[in-house]
Amino acid sequence: MAATPLASASADPSAEDGAKVFAQCRACHQIGETAKNGVGPELNGLIGRKAGSVEGYSYSAAMKNSGLTWDEATFHEYIKNPKAKVPGTKMVYAGLKDEEKINDLIAFLKQYDASGKKTSSLDSAKYASR
């Protein structure tokens, strides 16, 4: 896949910039120690979690039966076009197309463990190949 002209191969994802991207997600999702399910499920510990598995959230059958586990590549593909990745999902978001913003968002989400606590510093080298 060719890199976009605006993308820089040396640019490390920024959790701080990802927090700004997450601002648009806050309409439906929460993250952090006090996060609760809302229109969408809370996103604590998302990376590594089985799709459709947050206790107390009413998922679509499509999401519950998707068989997905949220790793970086799967989330990256999903957030670009949720309805293409999981046809029948309840998520009405049209998708995030900007690669840098997606990588920043992933960096932000990865900071939170399943309890909503921020983990130690992010190893941005994991993203350098994106």
Per-residue pLDDT of the chain (130 residues; tens, 9 = 90+): 444 444 444 479 999 999 999 999 999 999 999 999 999 999 999 999 999 999 999 999 999 999 999 999 999 999 999 999 999 999 999 999 999 999 999 999 999 999 999 986 444 434 333 3
Residue whose C-alpha is closest to residue 112's, from 14, 29, 32, 28: 32
| pLDDT value at residue 40 | 97
| pLDDT value at residue 11 | 76
Using CA atoms, how far apart are residues 10 and 62, in angstroms rounded to an integer?
A: 37
Give domain limits for the chain. Answer: 15-117
Using CA atoms, how far apart are residues 74 and 99, in angstroms rounded to an integer?
A: 14
Alpha helices in the chain (DSSP H): 15-22, 61-64, 72-80, 82-85, 99-110
Q: Which uninterrupted H or E stretch holds 38?
A: none
| pLDDT value at residue 10 | 46
Q: Dig out the tokens for 85 from the structure.
A: 């990745």
Using CA atoms, how far apart are residues 101 and 4, in angstroms rounded to an integer?
A: 13
Global confidence as pTM: 0.83
Burial of 76-95, coded b for 16+ CB within 10 Å and e otherwise, reads bebbbebeebbeebebebee
| pLDDT value at residue 120 | 62
Alpha helices in 10-118 (DSSP H): 15-22, 61-64, 72-80, 82-85, 99-110
Coil vs helix vs strand at 91:
coil
| pLDDT value at residue 118 | 95
Classify domain 15-117 at the CATH superfamily level.
Cytochrome c-like domain (1.10.760.10)
